[in-house]
Amino acid sequence: NTIEFAGALHATVVKQVRLKNPSNNTLMYNAILLGRDADDFSLPKGNTVTIAPMKQAFVNVEFTIRFLHPAEAVLILISNKVDGIEGATLTFSMKSEVKHIEPVGIIRCKSPCYEL
């Protein structure tokens, strides 16, 4: 599973990962960001998520596109035991892509091409 963060250079992109709990027990996960560019990604709502029985929850991942080269990281969700029940470990690949570049400003100047 790959989560793509596409947008303009210097834009902040937020993606949600939906987690479903089909069991009759509460599940709890700890989120970890790993990889070459993991420091550029963040979890604004914290790195712990609890999912009630037969419900769903969301993990928000935020990324600010700072460079033209694609950023890569991995989101790992590791289950904690709650009431003796443990969920599966989940992994997601994350990649960024610059779709366009918005100029911050335009500077006009006049100068001769060359002088003898």
Indicate whether 55 belongs to any domain.
yes
- Contact at 8 Å (CB) between 30 and 80? yes
- Establish if 108 belongs to a structural domain: no
> What pLDDT, on a 0 to 100 scale, did the predictor assign at position 62?
97
Structural domain total, the chain: 1
In a 3-state reduction of DSSP, which class is residue 40? Answer: helix
Q: Rounded mean pLDDT of 48-60? A: 93
* pLDDT score recorded for residue 93: 96
Q: Give this prediction's pTM.
A: 0.82
pLDDT tens-digit readout, 75-114: 999 998 777 778 889 999 999 999 998 887 889 988 888 7
pLDDT at 103: 80
The one-letter code for the residue type at 91 is: T
Range of the structural domain that residue 33 is part of: 2-100
- Is the residue at 45 inside a domain? yes
CATH of the domain at 16: 2.60.40.10
